[in-house]
Amino acid sequence: MEAIIASEYVTIGELVRLTETRYSTLKFYTEEGFLPFKQEEQKLTRRYPREATVERIAYIKQLREDGKTIPEIREILSEDDAGKLACYKQNKRND
């Protein structure tokens, strides 16, 4: 487990252990575009940025606990991502 926590990128199986979320749930979130990943061309293995993905899964879980539906979560995440992109572009202009 220490090696997983120290890794920059993790697999979906490692995310299951880190977040105590079912594999099928994480697979669904990935297919819905909720969890960004990088795919290794040779092995076709999806690698998730550990820290950001664990935080995002916790956020999705909180939204579900608050009674949000999947379409509502999709919209919220899209708005959050758009806001982060706008901030990133603004910071790049200021550099």
pLDDT band at 20 (very low <50, low <70, confident <90, very high): very high
Mapped onto helix, strand or coil, the DSSP state of residue 21 is: coil
pTM: 0.80
Angle 50-65/12-19 helices, nearest 10 degrees? Answer: 50
pLDDT, one tens digit per residue, over 57-77 is 999 999 999 999 999 999 999
Do residues 37 and 47 lie in contact, with contact meaning Cβ atoms separated by under 8 Å? yes
